[in-house]
Structure formats: structure tokens, C-alpha cells
Amino acid sequence: MEVTTENDQVIVFDEFLSAEAFRFVWNFVLEARFRYVNNDQWIKAFRLMDGAALWSDVFTSKPMPSDRTAMSQSYPTGKGIDCFIEALAETAKGYPEFVGEEGPDWELFFVRPYLYPTGAGLSWHTDGRQDVSCAFVYYAHPEWNASWGAELLVDGSDFRDLTYPELEMYDGERRAPGLHMDHEITSRAVMNFGVGTYVMPKPNRLALIRRGVLHRINPVGAAAGDHVRSSLTGFFMSND
Ligand SMILES: [Fe+2]
């Protein structure tokens, strides 16, 4: 493993896993069951123009509280994804300033395999939940070409606090329904500085994204054909 680049927004590691572990993770992805993210309902983290990504089940580094366990498996799972969970847990220890400190800042991380086929991407956003201390993405596909798209774009400004506007509801409560259909504040936040870092989805690469940083996944281009962007993505988070 080597650190390829490190700035205030993102840290990129290459050859993150050993060749053997990388193979086990890819074989795990090949065997995993996927469904379209919007299969049952619109997952509003994805905009309507973001194409049709797929996801698999949630895996956690340790058991989660009962209300969240319904769809998740915790480490050790006996599957190839354990290789990734072990490596990420080890790496996190070396970057407490960036990832947060285990205990006070986060108690576990969860990992979810995704597939982005041609046309799929993810619009500008922050991983804005209060209980998230750091986000990550790992590229599990065995091959990528510079013309296939799916670059991770990371805003280079020091902006960290995109807050979802709270709206008045008929029941008297104020709630934040999200930015999926009105994302003007996201655009303003990105356009304010408008310069940053791109990260190519190189096989066996891990990127850590600092809490609150704006980022985007460019759509997988037509030139990718039936090659899919295969990622393991998730968050370090507190357990409440
Ligand atoms: Fe994200």
C-alpha cells in the first residue's frame, strides 16, 4: 500500500490490498447479489439524472444496534469482503486526524458494494449526516481506462457545512426533505470556488473523503461498454 496523494479533502492509497486479497474481493463482488438502488423506491441521494446504479447488502465492521441490523451482516462474514474490512480498520488507525478517532468520533464503519454501469454517476453532494466522521470509496474492478469516466471529483474549497433547509410541514413540524429536487444550494457551494481534485477509479485504490467535503462521481461513459465501475463505499460512523 502506498499513499499517492494527500490533501485537506482527500487521501488516496494505491495497491491498497495485496494481490491475493484484491482477487478475493473481486470474486466476492462477482458472487454478490445486486439490485437497482431505486428498485423499491427512489433513493434520493441519487438524482433522477444519475442513471441506474446497483447496490448489494450492507456489511459492518462490528454489529450494529438492533434497529439497523435488518439488512446488514457484520464482520467477520467469512466472505472476501473481510479482507477489505480488515485493511480499512488497520488503515484508519494511522489517520485519526482525518478519519476521526475510534471511540469518541466513530464506533464502526459500514461498507456497501455498488455497481455503476454506463450512464450511472452521482451528482454533487456531501455525506452530510451528523453521525458520519469520514467517507471512503474503494475500487474493486480489475481494469479501468482513462476514457471510461467515473472520475471522483472532490471540491477543493474549505467549505464543510452544507445544511439541508428545513421546511414547515402541515403537522407543524419542521423537517429537511432533502436536496433531490431543489439543489440550488449545492450548486452555489460548488460554484463558489469551483476548483478541486479528480481521482481516477484505478483498480485496488482507496480514497478517504473528509467529512463535509463536496464530491461527485462522473457518469460512466459510453466508451466503457459493459465494463462497470465496481466500488465498496461507506462511512465511519457513531453507533447511535
Ligand atoms: Fe458521497
**Domain extents in the chain:** 2-237
Beta carbons within 8 Å of 86's beta carbon, 6+ residues apart:
75
Distance 123 CA to ligand 1 centre (A): 9
Sign for the CA dihedral angle at 8, 141, 115, 87 comes to negative
Distance 212 CA to ligand 1 centre (A): 9
Give residue 185's pLDDT: 95
The CATH code of domain 2-237 reads 2.60.120.620
Give residue 211's pLDDT: 95
Q: How far apart, in Å, are the Cα atoms of 160 and each of 54, 125, 152, 213?
A: 28, 11, 18, 5
Give residue 129's pLDDT: 72
What are the two backbone dihedrals, phi and then psi, of residue 97, each rounded to the nearest 5 degrees?
Answer: -70, -30
Give residue 72's pLDDT: 86
185 in Cβ contact with 162 (< 8 Å): yes
Q: What percent of the chain has pLDDT over 90?
A: 91
Distance 10 CA to ligand 1 centre (A): 12
Strand stretches in the chain, DSSP E: 2-6, 10-14, 35-36, 54-55, 58-60, 72-74, 108-116, 122-125, 132-139, 152-155, 167-168, 174-175, 196-199, 206-210, 215-217, 229-237
Nearest to 111 by CA among 211, 19, 9, 32: 32
Q: What is the mean pLDDT of residues 202-225?
A: 98
Distance 171 CA to ligand 1 centre (A): 31
What confidence tens digit (pLDDT) does each residue in 98-152 have? 999 999 999 999 999 999 999 999 999 999 777 899 999 999 999 999 999 999 9
Give residue 66's pLDDT: 61
Distance 135 CA to ligand 1 centre (A): 7
238 in Cβ contact with 106 (< 8 Å): yes
Give residue 130's pLDDT: 76
Q: What percent of the chain has pLDDT over 70?
A: 97
- Which pTM was predicted? 0.96
Radius of gyration of the chain (CA): 17
Whole-number Å distance between alpha carbons of 52 and 46? 9
Structure confidence at residue 21 as a pLDDT band (50, 70, 90): very high
**171 pLDDT exceeds 70?**
yes
Give residue 131's pLDDT: 84
**20 pLDDT exceeds 60?**
yes
What confidence tens digit (pLDDT) does each residue in 49-81 have? 999 999 999 999 998 776 555 668 999 999 999
